[in-house]
Amino acid sequence: MSEFGKQPSAQRAAPPAGADEVPDDLSGITSTQYRAAMRHYPAGVTIVTLGADKGPVGFTATSFASLSADPPLISFNIAHTSSSIEAMLAADSLVVHFLGEHQRHLAQRFSRTAEERFADRSLWTRLDTGEPILHGTPIWVRATVHRLIPIGDHTLVVGLVTRVHDNTGDEPIAAPLLYYNGVYHRPRGLD
């Protein structure tokens, strides 16, 4: 059987007890098995911000990906259960911040209580186009919303990059913040 193929029903394991353990008919694995595997995939940490009508919106996201150079496209996924989903689906533009290791507190802040994310006015400002910018972020990109593609329990957001802020110069001023196995990390280069 192909690694990606559908597992014949005769070979499937007996249905486990908990609701979380119910195998997905499409893949034959449980969401618990899926999450356990994904924990081992390291990712850079970003914060996505939106200048929504009702006030600034933002959330920590590790699903960011560089998608295309010409045209310059990026992507990330937002969960349909996210408190930011309504604002995301209505947004025309967004900013993705690539966090440095010195911004772990922001990664934590923007993954916890939504009402408190922008409460400290000293942490952010607004672009002339309305999107919130988090102070001290080495690199951020502004993008217009190009495509919104609902997939599974998330929506894939594709953005067309219209502006790049790069404060790193030739040498990165801060190591990027990484997330791996449920913990924040800084990268360590190999010799």
Ligand X SMILES: Cc1cc2nc3c(=O)[nH]c(=O)nc-3n(C[C@H](O)[C@H](O)[C@H](O)COP(=O)(O)O)c2cc1C
Of the candidate residues 32, 66, 68, 83, the single one contacting ligand X (CB under 6 A): 83
57 part of the interface to ligand X, by CB under 6 A: no
Q: Using CB under 6 A, pick the residue from 63, 127, 158, 178 that binds ligand X.
A: 63
Cβ contacts of 35 within 8 Å, gap of 6 or more: none
* Closest to 88 (Cα-Cα) out of 49, 114, 119: 49
- 124 lines the binding site for ligand X (CB under 6 A): no
For the chain, first and last CA: distance in Å?
A: 40
CA distances from 105 to 55, 97, 102 (A): 21, 14, 8
98 near ligand X (CB under 6 A): no
111 binding ligand X? (CB under 6 A): yes
Closest to ligand X by CB, 27 vs 82, is 82
Task: Among 50, 61, 91, 96, indicate the residue that binds ligand X (CB under 6 A).
Answer: 61
CA nearest neighbour of 48 among 37, 39, 57: 57
What is the binding site for ligand X (CB under 6 A)?
45, 59-63, 76-79, 82-84, 111, 114, 179
